[in-house]
A = this chain, B = another copy of it.
Amino acid sequence: MKDVAEAAGVALKTVSRVVNGEPGVRPATAERVREAIARLGYRRNESARMLRSGRTSTIGLVIEDVADPFYSGLSRAVEDAAIRHGCLLLTGSSGEDPARERELVLAFCNRRVDGLIVVPAGDDHAYLRPELEAGVPAVFVDRPPGPGLDADTVLCDNAGGAALAVRHLLAGGHRRIAFLGDSPAIYTATERLRGYRETLGELFDERLVAMHPPTPESVRADLERMLALEDPPTALFTGNGRITVTVLRAMCGRWLPLVGFDDFELADLLSPGVTVVAQDPVGMGRMAADLLFRRIAGDRGPAEHVRLPVRLVVRGSVAR
C-alpha cells in the first residue's frame, strides 16, 4: 500500500480510501491510484485488515464429512448465504470425532471467524464458553450442543420422522419391524430409535435393533442375525442414508420391505423405488446461515430453536 501510494504520488490513506471505495477522493486521483494498483499487482492484505478492524468476513463450518451428500448439500446452502453476505467459508470435517471437532472449532476461533455453524460430533461444548461469552455467534445444526450451552439450534423432527416410517410399515401389515441405526453416541440415531420404540409400543423387540456405524460387514452380520431369528423381521427401518445404501447393497438379491431415513439420489430409480423419510439438508443449511447472519448483524435475542419438519416420500419399497 505504501508502494502504491508512492507510485501514485499520494498518501497511504488515499490508497486505503480508493481500495475501500470510501468517498472523499477526486475521480482523477482515484484513477491514478487504481492505475498504480494494477501496474504493481497490488493485493490488499486481509490479515492486516482483519487485525485492525476485528472483522474477518469469514465464517466457520464444521460438519461430519463433506463427502456425505447430506452434509455437502448443507454446505452448499451455507456457502450460498455466505456469498450473499460477502463472507468466505472455512470448512472442516470432524469425521464424528469430538476431539477433531474441538480442534477445528478452536482453530476457527483463533482465526476470529465472525460466526460458527457446527454439526457437533461430541456432547461437551464447554470449550466454547469463552467464545460465546465474547459474543461469537454459533448455530448448531442437525444435533444440539452439549448440556449447559444456550445457543441457537436447527434440528429436524427425528422422532416424528421415525414414527412416520414405522406407522407406514405398520399400515402395510408389518408387525416385526427391524431398526438398523447409527451409533447411539449420535443424537439423531438415538432420537430416531426413540420414535421407533414409542410408535411400536408393545411390538418393540430389542433383538430387532442394531446400532453402530455402518460398515458392509457389520450390516451384513446384523441382517443375518435378525433373519435367523425364529420370528424374523418382515420389514426394515434404516436410520440414515448411509445405512440405507449399505443395507440395500448387503441384501444383494434378497428383498425386504424397507423405509429409510434420509432421501438420496436415485432412490426413485431403484426398483422398487425406496420409500424414505426425507429431511431437507439444504433447508437446514439455509436456515442455520440465516440465523447466524442475523446474529452477526447484531441480533442478541434469546436462543432460537428451529425444528424442521420431515416428510414421508412413498415409493415402491413397502407395497407387497
Q: Which residues on A are within 8 Å of B, measured CB to CB?
A: 41, 43-48, 50-51, 56, 58, 65-69, 72-73, 75-76, 79, 88-93, 104, 106-112, 129-131, 133-134, 245, 248-249, 264-266, 268-271
Contact = CB atoms under 8 A, between A and B. Distances in A.
B92 A92 contact: no
Contacts of A58: 90
Contacts of A106: 43
Nearest to A57: B107
Contacts of A68: 72
Nearest to A108: B88
A20 B93 CA distance: 25
17 contacts: A45-B112, A46-B111, A47-B47, A47-B50, A47-B51, A51-B51, A66-B75, A66-B76, A67-B72, A88-B90, A88-B108, A90-B90, A245-B265, A264-B266, A265-B265, A266-B266, A271-B271
Nearest to A106: B43
Q: Which 10 A-B pairs have the closest CB atoms?
A: A41-B130, A47-B50, A67-B76, A72-B72, A47-B51, A46-B111, A46-B110, A266-B266, A91-B91, A66-B75
A4 B109 CA distance: 18
A245 B269 CA distance: 9
A91 B58 CA distance: 11
Nearest to A45: B112
A249 B112 CA distance: 45
A91 B59 CA distance: 11
Given A41-B130, A72-B66, A270-B269, A111 B92 contact: no
Contact of A89 (B47, B90, B248, B266): B90
A69 B66 contact: no
Contacts of A56: 47
B47 A111 contact: yes
Nearest to A285: B67
A270 B268 CA distance: 10
Given A67-B69, A265-B266, 17 more contacts: A43-B109, A43-B110, A43-B131, A47-B50, A47-B51, A48-B51, A51-B51, A58-B90, A66-B72, A69-B72, A75-B91, A88-B111, A245-B266, A248-B269, A249-B268, A266-B270, A270-B270
Nearest to A93: B79
A245 B266 CA distance: 8
Contacts of A266: 245, 248, 264-266, 270
Given A72-B72, A269-B270, A130 B43 contact: yes
A58 B88 CA distance: 13
Contacts of A76: 65-67, 93
Contact of A73 (B46, B67, B75, B249): B67
B79 A92 contact: yes
Contact of A51 (B45, B109, B129, B134): B45
Most chain B beta-carbon neighbours within 10 Å: one of A41, A44, A66, A104? A66
